[in-house]
Amino acid sequence: MLAYDSYGEETAGAPILIVHGLFGSGRNWGVIAKRLSKSRRVVSVDMRNHGDSPRADSQSYHDMADDLAQVIESLGGEALVVGHSMGGKASMVLALTRPELVRALIVADIAPVAYEHTQAHLVDAMQELDPAAFDKRSDADAALARKVETKGVRDFLLQSLDLKEKRWKLNLDVLGSEMDKILSFPDLSASYDGPTLFLAGAESDYVLPEHRDRIKALFPNAKQAKIPGAGHWLHAEKPREFEAAVRAFFTL
């Protein structure tokens, strides 16, 4: 089963399940998870081929949704689900294929469509680094800067560099080979009628007006909202506003 961090006390209500995006981990969401756990138990998973979760040969959305279903079943059979980017797509597939497990859904800055936002260049950049060569994160950052200009992106990627174990906590080979699947979205005819919020960053180009028809076809009760001043990593850029939106939608 997927590795996860649990925050807060077990209560009678359904827990919140947080599902991170590509190259992320459950611990990236630690601050938001701790704050939300004052109202309800929160579980933040490491997706397959990320963090401390098992390695696998596939990164398909059906497989990722099955992983999430297993976690929710172990937690009691129902959850309030928050998924970002790749995790948002996996959460959508979960809701569409196993709706009984999802009491309500928040999809953060992603739509149920195929994208051309490939991250293959970041896989290549990380693969060029030898984790055994670094004792300090600053040295790894300097080396990664030759391929990745944006400091914020490097900081995010390097959270998955385990300096103690001298390894990436990402299965880079599989993430690279499965990139086309990660960019895609399964052709599903089902719909999820539960409460759904598509929460986007106002400065992001991931959720566009032309996606609305597809969103409504799959999620007929979906609402849409934007966080001003936020881009694709809206939960990291505007954590208080993101938390407030989650609390309001889940009525915590």
pLDDT band at 10 (very low <50, low <70, confident <90, very high): confident
- 11, pLDDT greater than 80: no
- 223, pLDDT greater than 90: yes
- Amino acid 40: pLDDT: 93
- Amino acid 210: pLDDT: 97
Catalytic residue (choose from 124, 130, 173, 180): 173
Our answer to whether residue 50 is catalytic in this structure is no
Average pLDDT of the residues of the chain: 96
Exposure letters 199-221 (e unless 16+ CB within 10 A, then b): bbbeebebbeeebeeebeebbee
- Amino acid 9: pLDDT: 87
Task: Return d(Cα 176, Cα 127) in angstroms, integer.
Answer: 10
Cα 247 off chain centre by: 18
Q: What predicted TM-score, i.e. pTM, was given to this entire model?
A: 0.96
Q: 181-196 pLDDT, tens per residue?
A: 999 999 999 999 999 9
At residue 249, what are phi and psi to the nearest 5 degrees? -70, -40
Our answer to whether residue 44 is catalytic in this structure is no
Catalytic residue (choose from 20, 50, 232, 235): 232
- Amino acid 12: pLDDT: 72
CATH class of 4-114+184-250: alpha beta
Catalytic residue (choose from 85, 91, 160, 204): 85
Our answer to whether residue 232 is catalytic in this structure is yes
CB-based contacts of 39: which residues, under 8 Å, 6+ apart?
A: 8, 247, 252
Exposure letters 78-93 (e unless 16+ CB within 10 A, then b): bbbbbbbbbbbbbbbb
Domain ranges for the chain: 4-114+184-250, 120-176
